[in-house]
Chains A and B, each alone.
Chain A
Amino acid sequence: MSLYAQPSLTGGIDETLVEVVTTVNTFIPGLLLFVWGVIFISGISTQKLRTGYSDTPMWAVMASISTLVISLLLSLTSGLINLETLSIVVAINVFAGLWLFLSKGRGEI
């Protein structure tokens, strides 16, 4: 006897993912947050290790754009991502861009 209702795998990986998302609503936001955090933290720590200086706003933009691309791919299938999550990802992109451009002097970017 299993601890939880296992998703049906006969419909292909798409339907399995949709079933998982239907059961666990925070799966996709959690996945996107994970991707954002991995790129952001690994980016700033690696850059600091190599150059002694980390460009935090630039890595925030890199992480946000990567997350946006994944969100857009997820938006192709119905049921994986909802409009609110997609909107928040775009809004975080906008804020990261605002932070990046306000943090740089002329000639720095």
Chain B
Amino acid sequence: MGQIKLGISLIMTTLFTFAIIMFAVNFGADNDASVLLSNDSDYITFTDNLSNDIQTFNENANASMDTLMSTTQETGDQSASSGGQFKVGITTLISMATTIITVGFVKIFGENEGFGVFLTAIIGILLWMIGLYAWKTWKGNPD
């Protein structure tokens, strides 16, 4: 799994999640359903967090693009070593992924702490993969 693939996957998953929940909520609202997904407080908190993350991601991406466009380079200058433009959104992406996994987990397995080991393992694997990709990007293939 490549770095671009992972990033695009997380973005697409976020948009898909947002679309599915909004579809369910709006279907209930439009048809005056007797069982409403918007009555579930977990989902309301979840959509709020997700939309905040998306907004932060959008602002960061725009700010980074502005910085990149306004950069000038003279003959003989050192190239930028920080790579800041290419690190945009990593924290919000991780936040989106953990939010999605958490709410899905809570809805399926409940609030029982005993099942928390699955969630810890999933998030741990995700962070480990992201760490490996970061290492691979800056230092070459870790294999």
> A residues bordering B, Cβ < 8 Å?
65, 68, 72, 74-83, 86-88, 90-95, 97-98, 101-102, 104-106, 109
| Contact status B43-A90, CB under 8 Å | yes
Report the interface size class on chain B: 20 to 34
Looking across the interface, which residue of chain A has its beta carbon closest to that of B37?
A86
> B residues bordering A, Cβ < 8 Å?
1-2, 4-6, 8-10, 12-13, 16-17, 20-21, 24, 27-28, 31, 33-37, 39-40, 42-43, 100-101, 103-105, 107-108
4 closest Cβ contacts across the A-B interface?
Answer: A91-B107, A78-B34, A75-B35, A97-B16
Q: How far is the CA of A104 from the CA of B2 in the complex (A)?
A: 10
| Contact status B20-A68, CB under 8 Å | yes
| Contact status A72-B5, CB under 8 Å | no
Q: How far is the CA of A72 from the CA of B21 in the complex (A)?
A: 12
| Contact status B24-A86, CB under 8 Å | yes
Cβ–Cβ < 8 Å partners of A72 in chain B: 24, 27-28, 33
Interface of A is mostly: helix
Cβ–Cβ < 8 Å partners of A106 in chain B: 2, 4-5, 8
* 28 contacts across the A-B interface (CB closer than 8 A): A65-B20, A68-B24, A72-B33, A75-B27, A75-B33, A78-B35, A80-B35, A82-B35, A83-B35, A83-B36, A86-B35, A87-B40, A87-B42, A93-B20, A94-B16, A94-B20, A95-B104, A95-B108, A97-B17, A98-B13, A98-B100, A101-B10, A101-B12, A102-B6, A105-B1, A106-B4, A106-B8, A109-B12
